[in-house]
Amino acid sequence: MSAADAAVRQLVREAIEVYDSDPAARTTLEDHARRLEEPLRVAVAGMVKAGKSTLLNAIIGEEIAPTDTGECTRMVTWYRYRDTPRVTLHPREGEPRTLPLKRTDGRLHFDMGATGAAEVNRLVVDWPAKSLREITLIDTPGIASLSGDVSAGSIGFLTPKDAPSEADAIIYLMRHLHAADLNFLESFRDTAAGHSGTVNTLAVLSRADEIGAGRIDSLLSAREIARRYCSDRSLRTLALGVVPIAGLLAQSARTLRQSEFHALADIARLDRAEREKLLLSADRFIRPAAPTDAGPEVRAALLERFGLFGIRLASALIRGGLTEPTPLAHELARRSGLNELLALLSGQFQARAAQLKARTAVAGIERLLRERPCTGTERLAASLERIQAGAHEFRELRLLAEARTTGLALASELAAEAERLIGGQGIAPQQRLGLGREATDGELRSAAMACLRRWRTVSENPLTGHAAAEACRTVVRSCEALLAPEADGPGPPPVTARLKLGAEPAPSRRATA
């Protein structure tokens, strides 16, 4: 635990004592205290049929989130780590109750009995998945649903007006960039979590395989679109990045079954002309008369699990030499875009979990001091000011948010380097310095020293404006931290994604190097 984290926890405890006679404020502060102890909360949000539950299953590595159009997809569902599986229904009225667990064809089903989605506040799924140890995932109903109540419930949960959002960060799925997407992301940024001093959203271009009509090169087209979205100024201020994902393929790759591999291998062995005819359309693929040993039912199940794009890609990979299920599953997951998303999720959210949660708590206390002052808040305000002035992690988060929103008062090349050095592409030393994962300690130290000299020079340049100089000082401190492992520890290891199956700164002169 860093000194900043410890200071924020102490600040929350002091605030609870100060607001002991204010039940509403105390409840809010106790919630902040719990959140500091819990894993980071990341909500999966997006429009209807964007593929949220499918992507959530891919991240977890198991099919535990319902992907049909039943009642369970119309309510907020939490997925948390616990040693013993359990599903708990929290009704809007009455006491929580445990639901029976049932698996059908490898998929988890929730039996809510006669209870409708409108009567449920949330479902909580406790599950022993390793991917949930450090992160709690929250599946939300579709925004802009045909059902106004469903859509309002989702928006109310993620962007409440009179309370902090229960999500620390968001993975936002979109099939295309629409005004409704930007409006929602703007709303989330206006919450306490969004005001925490950083951009805390990852955008996903979902169902990317459909962009090219299921062609085997569909993801290449999707990557071009994602790169264009990344450079879109309106989205760049709201999201840390845009990743194209073939969600259905990612989910199926993470849960590939032996029987499915054999059926895919059988299709891959077909003559090219026969195979291309079979994969021409979904109707052709499931027709009774087909030149393959896999029957219509098997092929229909395969189509539901992989889609034509996944079947085409798997066939090509098997013909290319991936003749075992495990290597095939890993390659399918990599090509689906899942690895890139997991790396961003790890490098941007999980690696910063303590800072994000602490900054959210600080923003919540700031709001209380502003809106509900009482006896003793002067002392709290002084402690708060000391934390904000002394915590370099918070200065990095604020500068990163400034870089993504109003922009830094620096030349474009320097602004890009500054964003990287303060952790805009991940907080591992290799990522901050723009080096490969295999960089040696000597190479890291040499690169950090060169950056430190350059940024000190820019900071001390008399032509550097005040706002730019403030930014430079934060970058200099980040460089110094990279050169002081004996003081701050060896630093976080390089971030890897390992898959296992089963307000605005004052105008100033732009600084130049």
What are 246-273's pLDDT values in tens digits?
999 999 999 999 999 999 999 999 999 9
Is 400 among the domain residues? no
In a domain, 361, yes or no: no
Token match 């719990």: residue?
34
CATH number of the domain that residue 212 is part of: 3.40.50
Tens of pLDDT along the chain (513 residues)? 677 788 899 999 999 999 999 998 999 899 999 989 999 999 998 888 888 989 999 999 988 887 765 666 678 899 999 999 999 999 988 899 998 888 777 678 777 878 887 888 889 999 999 999 989 999 988 876 545 565 666 777 777 766 667 888 889 998 888 887 888 888 776 554 444 445 678 889 988 888 766 677 788 888 888 888 887 777 877 888 889 999 999 999 999 999 999 999 999 999 999 998 998 888 989 988 878 888 889 999 999 999 999 999 999 999 999 989 999 999 999 999 999 999 888 877 887 888 888 888 888 888 889 888 888 889 899 988 888 777 788 788 888 878 877 788 899 899 999 989 998 888 889 989 999 888 999 999 999 999 999 999 999 998 888 889 999 999 999 999 898 754 344 344 433 333 333 333 343 443 343
**Helices within 320-440 (DSSP H only):** 325-336, 338-344, 353-371, 377-390, 392-404, 412-421, 429-433
Return phi, psi of residue 91, to 5°. Answer: -75, 160
Structure tokens at 418: 């500054």
Whole-angstrom distance, CA of residue 335 vs CA of residue 245: 9
- Identify the residue whose tokens are 């979902």: 206
User: Does residue 124 belong to any structural domain of this protein?
Assistant: no
Evaluate whether residue 220 is within a structural domain: yes
**pTM above 0.85?**
no
Range of the domain at 321: 250-332
Distance CA 148, CA 128 (A): 34
The verdict on 17 and 140 lying in the same domain is yes
If asked whether residues 142 and 234 sit together in one domain, one would say yes
User: Does residue 140 sit in the same domain as residue 56?
Assistant: yes
Question: Does 422 map to a domain?
Answer: yes
Rounded to whole angstroms, the Cα distance separating 287 from 142 reads: 34
> Alpha-carbon distance 318 to 332, whole Å?
11
Whether residues 169 and 228 fall in one domain: yes
The verdict on residue 419 lying in a domain is yes
Amino acid at position 511, single letter: A
Rounded Cα gap, residues 507 and 170, in angstroms: 32
Residue 432 corresponds to which tokens in the numbers above? Answer: 């901050």
Residues 214 and 279 in one domain: no
* Distance from C-alpha of 29 to C-alpha of 16, rounded to nearest angstrom: 6
449 lies in the same domain as 501 = yes
Q: Quick one: residue 498, left, alpha or beta (phi over 0 = left, psi -120 to 50 = alpha)?
A: beta
Question: DSSP letters along 38-86, please?
Answer: SPEEEEEEEBTTS-HHHHHHHHHTS--S--SSSGGGGS-EEEEE-SS-E
What is the C-alpha separation between 110 and 69, in angstroms, rounded? 13
On whether both 199 and 298 belong to a single domain, the answer is no
Residue 171 CB-density burial (10 A; 0-12 exposed, 13-18 middle, 19+ buried): buried
Judgement on whether residues 257 and 293 belong to the same structural domain of the protein:
yes
Give the Cα separation of 165 and 187 in Å (integer).
Answer: 11
Distances, alpha carbon 413 to alpha carbons 121, 446, 513, in Å: 48, 20, 9
**Separation between Cα atoms, residue 281 and residue 267, nearest integer Å:** 15
Mind listing the pLDDT tens digit for each residue in 190-217? Answer: 554 444 445 678 889 988 888 766 677 7
d(CA 501, CA 254): 5
Residue 385 resides in a domain: no
Residue 212 tokens read as: 């090219």
CB count within 10 Å of CB 222 equals 23
Helix residue spans in 116-242 (DSSP H): 148-158, 179-189, 218-230, 233-236
Q: Which pLDDT value is given to residue 56?
A: 93
For residue 237, being part of any structural domain is answered with: yes
Indicate whether 178 and 293 sit together in one domain.
no
pLDDT at site 212: 66
